[in-house]
Homo-oligomer: A and B are copies of this chain.
Amino acid sequence: MESAPAIQRLLDELERMPGVGPKSAQRIAYWLLNADRETAMRLADAIIEVKDTVHFCSRCFNYAEGDTCEICASKSRDERTLCVVSEPRDISAIERTSAYRGLYHVLGGALSPMEGIGPDDLKITELMARLATEDIAEVVLATNPNVEGETTATYLARIIKPLGIQVSRLASGLPVGGDLEFADEVTLGRAIEARRTL
């Protein structure tokens, strides 16, 4: 295919984005070519701005523009509950539920002996420092419900419980709106074990 080098470069860069294949990249490239200059510049500027201004919150390691993130800076959060997550994107997912009003702590990953990620590679020292200085009553372990996430949760529970702080874990079970027949056996097994009395 013969296209202008600048278009080809744009296609190459667009294809690096997650979930964007050659077809989507082409669709986006032609949309950009068709768009007015201002729209395209706003997108380019937003990309540059986010790299220039966003860094990690000094307290919880969420993405932040100032020294602390919007959640740590908020006055309306429950400062006695701390939710531990692997990545900043997990905070977005939990915030969307509106079911949690406490603070967060981002580990920056999960324990994985396979990939050589140990406790020193995560913000665990920083978490323990927060538990020592802040008045936290409950830690909610919201790492992913997979092998690495469960390993991380088990490890953290073991070192946090001796501090006399309540430790909880997100419930496992059937996804709401899902079909029982399509649930995998591990999930269904967990749902049976954790059945609620009505």
Contacts and interface: CB of A to CB of B under 8 A. Distances in A.
A1 B95 contact: yes
Given A88-B30, A89-B30, A4 B47 contact: no
A43 interface: yes
A31 B51 contact: no
B2 A18 contact: no
Interface string A151-174: 000000000000000000000000
B92 A3 contact: yes
A9 B33 CA distance: 21
Contact of A71 (B2, B40, B71, B87): B2
A47 B38 CA distance: 11
A19 B9 contact: no
Contacts of A44: 44-45, 47-48
A80 interface: no
B51 A7 contact: no
Given A30-B87, A43-B47, A44-B47, 16 more contacts: A2-B71, A3-B92, A6-B46, A6-B49, A7-B50, A10-B46, A13-B42, A13-B46, A16-B39, A16-B43, A17-B31, A26-B92, A33-B51, A33-B63, A41-B48, A44-B45
Given A30-B89, A89-B26, A2 B70 contact: yes
Most chain B CB within 10 A, of A3, A29, A88, is at A3
Interface SS, A side = helix
A96 B1 CA distance: 6
B17 A28 contact: yes
Contact of A65 (B5, B13, B63): B5
A160 to B, nearest CB: 26
A74 interface: yes
